[in-house]
A and B are shown apart, each in its own frame.
Chain A
Amino acid sequence: MSDLALLLQRLSQLATGPLLVALVASAIVVSLIRNWRLALPVLIGQYVVVGIMLARVSQSGVAVIKILAGILVCLSLSIAAQRADDQRAARGESVAVERILHPSWRSVPAQVLLRAVATAFVLTAAFGAATRFPPPKATPDVALSAYVLIGAALLLAATASEALNAGIGLLMFISGVELVYAPLEPSVSVAVLLGFMTLALGVALSYLTLADVADRARAPT
């Protein structure tokens, strides 16, 4: 067993509580804050937590593939987002760093409040679904994590207009589905194919992220 797989196996023996809190917190952050400089590092962290949870219910090799595929996709998305920001900066539009350093306090509270209310509803629904419709063979913590990820992902994909944020939603959706599916089909080949699929999706999303900037530049004002 590789060192990474061994490390994951040890980490998977940690208490459930902190992992669950970290996963829910990451889902909340990604749902609320539509800024790639914050969202993508949080998404990497979320992939690590999902990997640790997968190691609890499946082979640690499966978890390693998940984490590596996730990190690669996040890196490719961040390169695309950085290039998109460069193009925005060249046109004199605001970029992600500026929005962190100089937030527009007039518009931020209204947007964040609306998303916070929607996220609260989604989390409540996820909790209800995890207790009333637990997926087969899933432990309660895995069930809750999966429902939180799927719920937050659907909210993000449905409400985000930018390709990057909607894409992050799709990636979270796949993570949630994998959490449900891993205990049912613990084979490494499925994990490899799911990892390959995540990479293909990541390439497409990076492409769309770049195209999004060109589109907004061309859009009539």
Chain B
Amino acid sequence: MLPVALLIIAVPLAAAIPALALRGLRIFELPIAVGACLFVILLLALPAAGGSTVLAIGSYQIELNAPLTILGRTLRVRDFDRYALILIFSAAALIFPLSVRANQGWTFVPLGLAMLSALSVALMIRPFVFSALALEVAASLAAMMIQVEREEAHEQHRVATLGALRFLTIVTLALPCFLGAGYVVAQATQAVAPDAATYAPAVTLLLIGFALLFGALPVFTWTHPVARDAPPLVTAFLATVYLGAITFLFLSFRQEYEWFRTSPLIVSAANLGGILMLAFGGLTAWAQRSFGRVMACGLAVEIGALLIQAGLGTVLSIEAIAIGIGARAISFGLLALGVSLLRQEFGSDEFDTLRGAGRRLVWAPLAIGIGGLSLAGLPGTIGFVSRWMSIRSLALGDQELMMLSILASASVGIAVVRGLGALLEVSPTPSPEDAPATLEMEAASRLETLRQLIGDVWGRLKARALHLSVIAPAVTIVWMGLAPHALALLAQSIANGYTFYR
């Protein structure tokens, strides 16, 4: 008998080894990464026959719910984690291929895979204090993804360690909150008649811990430094995969612990954090003057909306969260790809230095336009579906929050439009440092001609890969915006899983 939990941890880790060995050769490392993610998704999506068997190979049976015991701690794919893990691995499988023509550094794919493994451990392990340890390991890996030495000579975007350090520090500060909460819960379970007051310290500690992990305490934590310092797709990976895992960990706490679910502190703390993040993101987004900062403000708005929905804990709000994570993977990913192309080509993402640059590199404004406007919730895109779900959920309760959420999204949209305006401005364009010069084709010999022919074909293939990496997610955003059935179905399964207590 082979527990699926073991494969969920081992497959990404095993795939990380060849991806690390073949780092830089994206033609190999990307299929490895996507293949590993798809394999895990397949394992989780297969119907469980005869209880929990998903696959039988000879005498080996792969069991979905079978426990995996490491150092006396149990890891298990619970029913409510199953679809959440599918969504997280799907988001990673969407984001990895976007780096095909936009170098994110050698750490992106191998450490991204290892991080998926650590985040899966955080979701599956119990008692939950060990989730905090797994998150710390994931944060250590994330720090190396954020702070990567990019090799390109024309990559002049300044790389500082502040983002990586801030991220690592915040996750480390959250660690004692989870350890302390674990102790309080262990004590409370030994009490004769534990009541809400017995669990109150655990609730407070967990709320502080989650607020730190979400980046909501203090308001300005890792989002801006990370968006500035990290390769853009790494920011998208953290915004989707890391935040998704934290969100589902929060929801699994609500699912498992009644004392946590019924605490009145949860809703008020989530609302406070959400309002602060929405207000901060919304007030600052429209005035930003670089795409990196627009991404950071967009992320702050996303976190704010997510916190408010997580506090509500209704079926509709959890559906909105799940659709939001899926939408963020594509929208934020495409926006990040556009920003990455600009940084790679022009060494900057500042509006002022990129005036007219979009006319030289047409794929970048296309990616930023569709990705950014989808993030802002433009109708006809998947981002709109996410916003609409969120609005529906909030309309039943606090309508002021709903308006705040709409205004904050509009502010992000204004920032994206301002950036696009600068990109498409008709003005002399900055020339890239080492733009590929037009080569004088001199066929001195047949060998030389052959070499040039191969080079030409390779160049066309690379250009085709770039076109595909922009067009495919752009079409997906619009297509899923018009027909979001598959994502809605997954979101519904997640929502039903995390609200068993109804």
User: Which residues of A are interface residues toward B (Cβ below 8 A)?
Assistant: 136, 157, 163, 166-167, 170, 173-174, 177, 180-181, 184-185, 187, 189-190, 192-194, 196-197, 200-201, 203-205, 207-208, 211-212, 214-215, 218-220
Contact = CB atoms under 8 A, between A and B. Distances in A.
B23 to A, nearest CB: 14
A21 B494 CA distance: 54
Contact of B147 (A185, A194, A211): A211
Given A185-B179, A201-B168, 16 more contacts: A163-B161, A173-B173, A177-B176, A181-B176, A181-B179, A196-B133, A196-B137, A197-B137, A200-B137, A207-B144, A208-B144, A208-B164, A214-B149, A214-B159, A215-B159, A219-B160
B141 to A, nearest CB: 7
Contacts of B133: 193-194, 196-197
A213 to B, nearest CB: 10
B143 interface: yes
B242 interface: no
Nearest to B167: A204
Interface class of chain A by DSSP: helix
B159 A163 contact: no
A14 B367 CA distance: 66
A193 B70 CA distance: 10
A211 B172 contact: no
Contacts of B72: 187, 189
B151 to A, nearest CB: 11
B183 A185 contact: yes
26 contacts: A163-B161, A166-B169, A170-B169, A173-B172, A174-B175, A181-B179, A181-B183, A185-B183, A193-B133, A194-B133, A197-B133, A197-B136, A200-B136, A201-B172, A203-B140, A204-B141, A204-B144, A204-B164, A205-B168, A208-B164, A208-B165, A208-B168, A211-B159, A211-B164, A218-B158, A219-B160
Interface in B90-140: 129-130, 133, 136-137, 139-140
Contacts of A204: 139-141, 143-144, 164, 168
A170 B165 CA distance: 10
Nearest to B138: A200
A203 B168 CA distance: 12
B161 A215 contact: yes
A16 B183 CA distance: 26
B191 interface: no
Nearest to A209: B161
A30 to B, nearest CB: 16
A123 to B, nearest CB: 20
A189 B137 contact: no
B165 A166 contact: yes
A136 B71 contact: no
A135 to B, nearest CB: 9
Which 9 A-B residue pairs are closest in the complex by CB-CB distance? A189-B71, A204-B140, A200-B140, A204-B143, A177-B176, A200-B137, A163-B161, A184-B183, A211-B147
B73 interface: yes
A215 B179 contact: no
Contacts of B136: 197, 200-201
B140 A192 contact: no
Nearest to A158: B169
A180 to B, nearest CB: 7
A15 B183 CA distance: 29
A190 B173 CA distance: 18
A121 B147 CA distance: 33
Contacts of B175: 174, 177
A170 B133 CA distance: 14
B254 to A, nearest CB: 24
Contacts of A185: 129, 179, 182-183
A181 B143 CA distance: 26
A18 to B, nearest CB: 27
Contacts of B141: 200, 204
A123 B183 CA distance: 27
B144 A174 contact: no
Given A173-B172, A181-B179, A200-B137, A215 B165 contact: no
B177 to A, nearest CB: 10
Contacts of B129: 185, 190
A32 B292 CA distance: 36
Contacts of A167: 165
Given A189-B73, A196-B137, A157 B169 contact: yes
A211 B140 contact: no
A192 B176 CA distance: 17
Contacts of A219: 158, 160
B165 A163 contact: yes
Contacts of B165: 163, 166-167, 208
Nearest to A198: B136
Contact of B161 (A187, A197, A208): A208
B162 to A, nearest CB: 8
Interface in B18-44: none
A204 B136 CA distance: 11
A211 B161 contact: yes
A81 B175 CA distance: 27
A106 to B, nearest CB: 28
Interface string B196-228: 000000000000000000000000000000000
B183 to A, nearest CB: 5
Nearest to B182: A185
Contacts of A211: 147-149, 159, 161, 164
Nearest to A202: B140
Nearest to B173: A173
Contacts of B71: 189, 192-193
B173 to A, nearest CB: 8
Contact of A174 (B73, B149, B172, B182): B172
B131 to A, nearest CB: 11
A204 B182 CA distance: 26
Contacts of B183: 136, 181, 184-185
A143 to B, nearest CB: 14
A205 B173 CA distance: 16
Given A203-B140, A218-B158, A180 B172 contact: no
A6 B137 CA distance: 31
B154 to A, nearest CB: 14
Contacts of B144: 203-204, 207-208
Contacts of B176: 177, 180-181
Nearest to A192: B71
